Copies of this chain bind each other. A is one copy, B any other.
Amino acid sequence: MGCAPMAHVLFSKFVKVNPANPTWINRDRFVLSNGHGCVLQYVMWHLIGYNISIDDLKSFRQMGSKTPGHPEANHGIDGIEVSTGPLGQGISNAVGLALAEEHMAATFNRPGYEIINNYTYVILGDGCLQEGVQNEAVALAGHLKLGKLIALYDDNHIQIDGDTSLGFTEDVCMRLEACGWHTIVVGNGDSDLESMEKAIEQAKAVTDKPSLIKIRTTIGFGSKNEGEEKVHGAPLGAEDVANVKTKFGFNKDEHFHVSADVYDFWKAVVAKNTAIETQWKETFAKYSAAYPELAAELNRRISKKLPANFRSLLPTYKPTDSAIATRKLSETVLNKIAESIPELIGGSADLTGSNLTRWKTAKDFQHPSTNLGDYSGRYIRFGVREHGMAAICNGIQAYGGLIPFGATFFNFISYALGAVRLSALSKHQVLYIMTHDSIGLGEDGPTHQPIETLASIRALPNLISLRPADGNEVSGAYAAALENTTRPSVLILTRQNLPHLEGSSLEKTLRGAYVLSDSPNASVCFVASGSEVSLVVDAAKLLAQEGIHSRVVSMPSWELFEEQSHEYKESVFPKGIPVISAEAMSTFGWSKYAHVSLGLDTFGMSAPYQQIYKKVGLVPDVVAEKAKKVIAHYKTAVPEYKLATIL
């Protein structure tokens, strides 16, 4: 309730949207970063004509409703750009939305045709300003001088634990100014609508800095407990609701009632905005005539259609090609596709030289005044800000017309999981390019070696994990990541060189798992991903020398495999022979497919990677010996998967 006045000013005077055309590319973006206040957004959405009815409002937080407890993007309500509620995410997404706007403007605008020039507005509260992800994102926004980003800070001095004096006493404006922001203070956000309007005008006038408008408000303004934290989470009592309604001139006995004059007020606002959108359409028609290729390209991108020839750009490899790290193969793919897929935009969290994510012709996304790049650049220097990077990528994707990527060491995706989870929940197509994917990282040691990380990622719904084993599988991984437009992908890549495999292909990779090599008399089936596929291939060769035949399954993606037919799945993992999995990390989860899992369920160690592999028994001769024991065990015993202690 405390930020209703600022929302009133913002939506009545500034936010240019047309609910009848909710995907209009040049609409202003609005993010309610304090998503727990979403009733405000749902009511506003109803008033301005988004697809929320009075019945939807009545079914707030009910099964199957359009009005869940926090706003969810891609959940059936138009105009919800990103999912908010997890604190700090919305403001960070907004940085991505504003970044995307500047990039699209620099890419598509032409003299006389300002096709893209929308604003990104945010309302946020104390909680968002305490989250680290927010500081990462605002620091980058300030560095990048994102002048069309305007944040309204609902400064109500209250958070869930009580008064902000308990733990949040920083000078917010000073911190944001230190990060390159412009700030304004409005002393009375409960009723001084004029000052709020003026402040937003001032914010718009500052074009080379994002703006924060700090607005002092009273939580639960007008209610019995106004200004107290108990208003924060709990509903007002029936009596107090009546009290508030009376105070503000409403009929206290009418529930979920909106009077005709209120509807009329918002109808006029919508009419004004619709006229602006109509005007834009006319401009775009002229633009399409003057720049038909650009207009077609913009439409292609918005519709998420990849260039027709896209798969042919992806390289193929023969087993005789030189061994090479999958991070390096990823770099090769980026170099092949970067010019043809200009919607690809992203960068690394200060590990460019290790992640190998900067293609040869890349230009940095930077404010032109820096002489380090400009807004048409597509390589983002995220800085050491993994969580901010992921949240910003979510915002970039939500803008439309762009496929963002972020990169770091795989281990440090754990810094970013709060936002990666929301990529998945909100169906944002984001590519996470994660290198140094196991103990194969070597000398940097256990602080940097992922162990549990892939299990965490595989357990996340609506996300594709891809751990390719060689060049063809890297091409397959990119095909999957780029063609799946409604979920994020995590590409998990090695630091160390890997050989190209006999039998791999892009197409097979897309099935998630496939038989790489086989024998009609196989007595054991190996399954592995990434760097351990060539390991089990070598183990199988050793066994073959002793007349023991095996099948080898390469399994780059559990998620893609699970989507195959039951018949296909059974054709990959045959009945009657034991399955042994191998991955140079936690075995967690592998019981689903394997009778025995090889890996390491402890933290790693600092040493040259070959020595670590040897130490943990992930070398061909040790694996072959273990396989013989497994084969012997399952010859005499009914397969008993649980609690088997064979080795």
Contacts and interface: CB of A to CB of B under 8 A. Distances in A.
A552 to B, nearest CB: 17
A381 B645 CA distance: 47
A382 B167 contact: yes
Interface string A62-78: 11110011101000000
Interface stretch (A103-111, A311-319, A452-460, A628-636): A452-460
Contacts of A352: 160-161
A384 interface: yes
A603 B384 CA distance: 30
Given A131-B132, A639-B641, A68 B606 contact: yes
A638 interface: yes
B607 A447 contact: no
A461 B603 contact: yes
Given A63-B615, A132-B132, A455-B589, A85 B384 contact: no
A435 B543 CA distance: 50
Nearest to A164: B383
Contact of A588 (B65, B83, B589): B589
A573 interface: yes
A180 B370 CA distance: 31
A31 interface: no
A35 B588 contact: no
Indicate the size class of the contact surface on chain A: 35 or more
A52 to B, nearest CB: 14
Contacts of A411: 86
A174 interface: yes
A643 B178 contact: no
Contacts of A606: 61-62, 65, 68-70
A602 B456 contact: no
A135 B575 CA distance: 54
Given A136-B130, A447-B72, A459-B586, A412 B422 contact: no
Interface in A437-463: 443-448, 451-452, 455-456, 458-462
Given A169-B143, A174-B177, A418-B414, A445 B72 contact: yes
28 contacts: A61-B606, A61-B607, A64-B607, A65-B607, A68-B605, A68-B606, A70-B447, A131-B384, A139-B168, A139-B170, A160-B351, A160-B353, A161-B350, A170-B180, A173-B178, A174-B177, A174-B178, A412-B418, A421-B452, A425-B447, A451-B460, A458-B588, A459-B586, A459-B588, A462-B602, A591-B591, A593-B642, A639-B639
A-B pairs with the 5 shortest C-beta distances? A132-B132, A68-B606, A174-B178, A452-B459, A135-B135
